[in-house]
Chains A and B, each alone.
Chain A
Amino acid sequence: MSTTATQTAPPTRSRKRGPKSLNAGQGRRGVLLVTPTLILLAVVIMYPLVRAVIMSFQKDSGLDPATGMFSEGGFAGTQNYQHWLLQQCAAAGGTTQPCPPGTLGSQFYDALFVTLFFTVVTVFFEIGLGLWFATIMNRTFKGRGLVRAAILIPWAIPTAVTAKLWFFIFAYEGIANKLLGGVGIKPLLWTGDAWPARFAVIIADVWKTTPFMALLILAGLQLISSDVYEAAQIDGASKWQTFTRITLPLIKVPLMVAILFRTLDVLRIYDLPAILTNGGGGSGHATTTLSILVINQIRAGFNSASALSTLVFLLIAFVAFIFVRFLGADVVQRPPGKEAAKRRWFRRQPVAAEGE
């Protein structure tokens, strides 16, 4: 990613890249070095994906609700997809009916909503707070290393532990309700009611990931030369102008990369809601994300679970595509973007441009 472009390429080094590219195409030996990795990835990652897509077009074997007889499965056409997208469940007589409430099938759109809701809200808070923390930590102060180490703790501990920790904090007699009681708010059923349960998951996720985002952004901030800020100060720029006109454009690429990866990550979220609220809350599935729904469905039927997991994959691929399309190719295409991005940076950055 272009993070490196901004990160590791101070202006003086750019000259070096010339001769390096002359060595391009070392041919067979290079290919030989990459091949094992490519084969392993292709087999272990592509095979399950292709297999899942094939399975999604098969019928689940089991008791046929129409005849009460055991059916072997076989080709199902798009039936499994209709099951999820159009909410059509199998009914007596070989026909379909709208999925009755309470079945896994009827939870699809709720799970989709919950997943998207978690994604938008957590990424929003993680970026906002992360930027704020990063600007604080970008100044030198006593014990900075220790503070940085301390805020890495939430990220490093296993999610299973995070979820359990917050489960205790959000218990009915737990610390969260005690604090709310302190300001005169009645205790909430954090893991029981729909919206408190959702916010419990969001709070725990923001706690776990914000410090980490802050550190990523901080790494970007530390590459901005202080000369640029001095120049801005001489020109009489306000703090706000400095932030929006200098800081933000200069950390745009690392920031976008961080947002892209966080978004893709939250879209797949499983552990935290699964352990913290058991996917429940409210009507029983208020925090069931798409990933949890897939796992629940596996017990009920492999092939319709495959259809669901394929839909999840398509959703994530679609979001990734949108990101890459609208936020610029910089985000994914580091290689060609690398030189280009660098040139763009320095054009925007008057002091550094003089140095070149």
Chain B
Amino acid sequence: MSTTTRQDTGVAPGGEQRARSGAVTHAKPPRSGMLLSLLAWVVGLLFALPVFWMVLTSFHSEADAATNPPSVFAPLSLEGYRTFFGSDPWPALLNSLTASVLSTVLVLVLAFPAAYALSIRPVRKWTDVMFFFLSTKMLPVVAGILPLYLFAQKAHLLDNIWWLILLYTTMNLPIAVWMLRSFLAEVSVEMLEAAEVDGASLSRTLREIVAPVVMPGIASAALICFIFSWNELLLARVLTSTVAATSPVYLTGFVTSQGLFLAKVCAASLVVSLPVLAAGFAAQDKLVQGLSMGAVK
């Protein structure tokens, strides 16, 4: 519980801020709102600033990118992007897309029935099952990476995208089951019972009663699995080389060869981040909801 006492210092200013703005509220309501908005905006900006810098730099020529402080108004250039796409990143981007999308689909196909069995119609000992899922989150990837490598070597699965897909599926399964179970717990039992009385089959019950209620849950689980798979580096780095390399692996390679060229590296980083940024931005509400339901990472 030391955390509770420790964070005091961190929280005190916020409390003060609230106290002050609360006191002001009665006198001049608009101003307190502005102060608070301003503080929140400053915090948000502070966190987004390095990313803005990266975006800006990626559109500059190498000469302008190298200046410090950054030359904000330098003429824009696509030089960085041209170099990056000229280095043929398409196989890596395509590999990442394949691995992320397919593993996400597999996760959902496996996790949904499991979560259903564990929530709406709990099987016996289901708490043990949930705990087992959770415990797999405690395993360090490095503890298993060597046997995974040796097995892949023997089975000729090294540098094979399907091996990565299988591993990503396993990696994300426990999270997805936890999250989907939380959403499924919200399904109305009355409706399920009504369906049973009407003699609806299991698959029909799933499709027509359960799925619509938990669609947001499915969406957020899918999004999170996609982001985790897309960003994964350690497994991909060890288990792939040229054929099945994913975009983070390609990026680290690109950085090694072009590391001194700021604009090129920023452009490459941005392209690799774009799919997850787009996904996250489009569905940030669902993302937060899903993550707090699964309470992971």
Contacts and interface: CB of A to CB of B under 8 A. Distances in A.
A25 B44 contact: no
B15 A135 contact: yes
B142 A270 contact: yes
Main secondary structure of the interface of B (DSSP, over half): helix
A264 B146 contact: no
Q: Which 7 A-B pairs have the closest CB atoms?
A: A128-B10, A48-B144, A219-B292, A30-B123, A147-B44, A33-B117, A48-B147
Given A40-B170, A156-B273, A317-B138, 8 more contacts: A1-B178, A24-B124, A45-B139, A123-B3, A141-B40, A146-B44, A155-B280, A175-B70
B134 A332 contact: yes
A248 B15 contact: no
Nearest to A302: B146
B146 A305 contact: yes
Interface in B270-297: 272-273, 276-277, 279-281, 284-285, 287-289, 291-293, 295-297
B7 A335 contact: no
A45 B140 contact: no
A48 to B, nearest CB: 3
A174 B68 contact: yes
Most A CB atoms within 10 A — which of B126, B166, B288?
B288
Given A151-B43, A178-B69, A320-B138, A265 B297 contact: yes
B189 A19 contact: yes
Contacts of B36: 136, 139, 141
Contacts of A267: 140
Q: Which bucket holds chain B's interface residue count?
A: 35 or more
A112 interface: no
Interface of A: 1, 3-4, 7-8, 16, 19-21, 23-27, 29-34, 36-38, 40-41, 44-45, 47-49, 51-52, 55, 123-125, 127-129, 131-133, 135-137, 139, 141-161, 164-166, 168-169, 173-175, 178, 207, 210-212, 215-216, 218-220, 239-240, 243-244, 248, 254-255, 257-259, 261, 264-265, 267-268, 270-271, 275, 290-291, 294-295, 298, 302, 305-306, 309-310, 312-313, 316-317, 320, 327, 332-336
B284 A148 contact: yes
A316 to B, nearest CB: 6
Nearest to A22: B189
A37 B41 CA distance: 43
B288 A148 contact: yes
Interface of B: 1, 3-4, 6-7, 9-11, 13-19, 22, 33, 36-37, 39-41, 43-45, 47-48, 50-51, 53-54, 68-70, 110-111, 113-114, 116-118, 120-124, 126-127, 129-148, 150-151, 166-167, 169-170, 173-174, 177-178, 182, 185-186, 188-189, 193, 202, 227, 230-231, 233-234, 238, 247-248, 251-252, 255, 262, 265, 269, 272-273, 276-277, 279-281, 284-285, 287-289, 291-293, 295-297
